[in-house]
Structure formats: structure tokens, C-alpha cells
Chain A
Amino acid sequence: DAGVTQTPRHEVAEKGQTIILKCEPVSGHNDLFWYRQTKIQGLELLSYFRSKSLMEDGGAFKDRFKAEMLNSSFSTLKIQPTEPKDSAVYLCASSLLGYEQYFGPGTRLTVL
């Protein structure tokens, strides 16, 4: 079985740009999560979907961050407009009915 896949692995953006990160969950998983990881803040939940329905949208991230599940096997995270403080690793994870989460390799975003 393929694990969680994320593209791109690295992204460099200028301040003010729009970027879209992509995630494909493990086949058959119905929960999908987007996290941001930084050394200072650790792991922060951005969005959580169950069966394509948005269950939780991280309050602090609502302004410029928008996650969508276009279908059960594909999700995107749009950041618009980007700011230097958005530089971080963005992780996507999936699980089956809320059990253990499996993480993708992450996208390292650098905003100049």
C-alpha cells in the first residue's frame, strides 16, 4: 500500500504569492489532517477532514490558509498571500476512523 504522498517536497515563494500544497492520503482512509511544524511552535493542526467534511479549521490559520478535499483521495492546502512567517514544514496525515495517523514526507516551505 502506498503511504501518504505530498507534493512538492520543497517550495520557495516570494512574499505575497499564492502557493498550493497537495496531499494524497492512504487509500481507504477517511480522516485527513494538515499540520504545520516549526521548531518554536511544534506541531499545529491546520485542518481536519472526515469523509471530505471539514471537522476542524485551526482558528489562528483561518485568514490565509484554506484546505480542501476535492475528493476522498486528494486534498490541497492553499496559502494566500504567503508571508515569511509561514516558512515551515507542512505535514499531511491520514487515518482510518480516527486511529493512528500516518504522516506524509512533508513540504518544506520557504517564504522570502
Chain B
Amino acid sequence: GEQVEQRPPHLSVREGDSAVITCTYTDPNSYYFFWYKQEPGASLQLLMKVFSSTEINEGQGFTVLLNKKDKRLSLNLTAAHPGDSAAYFCAVRRYNQGKLIFGQGTKLSIKP
């Protein structure tokens, strides 16, 4: 079945620096992609959803890139700030399925 590998498992960057988290997936039929943020002790919060027709999506302070050829999804945080400290999870879904396949997560720490 579909596998999603997320790297790195831990990431520490200084405030103001950029951070990149990458997920690779195996199923070429993956069509919907999601990034979730989980702050300590809290549940998962949807950060961004990406459809396979769009390769670049921008949010507040971050950009999501989708490379369908390489089956790679990345979350790029620009100018990290303390509020970005959290665990981040990517998730993928096939066009005709409801369930999500999650990556293993990345724990991001922002140093002052």
C-alpha cells in the first residue's frame, strides 16, 4: 500500500531562519495532499491542503511545493518564529479513497 516517508524527524533552526520538511510518497494515484501542525498537548490543525493540479501553494509564512514527477511534497517555512515550534505531519490521499496516509512527523524547534 501507499507509504509516506517524512524527513527529518527532528529539526532545530534559529528564529528568522528558514526550515524545510519533505515527504515522499509511493502511490502515483495520490491526488490530495495535506500539511497538519500539532502544537504540544494539542490536536492536529490543518495548515494547508494541496491538490495535485497545483504545484505551488502559499500560506502565511510558508510555501508548499509539490513535485509530482519525484512524488515529493515539501513544506518551506520562511523566517521561522517561536510560534512555529510544533510537530508537522504531511498526509496524502488517493482520488477515490477517504482515508489519509500520514508521514511520521517532524518535530520543529525554533531557537531564539
- CA distance in complex: A102, B46 (Å): 7
Q: With A98-B93, A103-B44, A105-B43 known to touch, is A43 a contact of B99 (CB < 8 Å)?
A: no
A71 CB, min distance to chain B CBs, angstroms:
19
Q: With A42-B104, A42-B105, A43-B89 known to touch, is A98 a contact of B98 (CB < 8 Å)?
A: yes
Interface size range of chain A in the complex:
20 to 34
Q: Please, which residues of chain A bring their CB within 8 A of the CB of B89?
A: 43
Closest to B42 in A: A105
**Which residues of B are interface residues toward A (Cβ below 8 A)?**
32, 34, 36, 42-46, 49, 89, 91, 93, 97-100, 102-105
**Which residues of A are interface residues toward B (Cβ below 8 A)?**
31, 33, 42-43, 45, 48, 50, 55-56, 91, 93, 95, 97-106
30 A-B interface contacts by CB (under 8 A): A33-B99, A33-B100, A42-B102, A42-B103, A43-B89, A43-B102, A43-B105, A45-B99, A48-B98, A48-B99, A55-B98, A56-B99, A91-B43, A93-B44, A95-B98, A97-B98, A98-B93, A99-B32, A99-B49, A100-B34, A100-B46, A100-B49, A101-B34, A101-B100, A102-B46, A103-B36, A103-B44, A103-B45, A105-B42, A106-B43
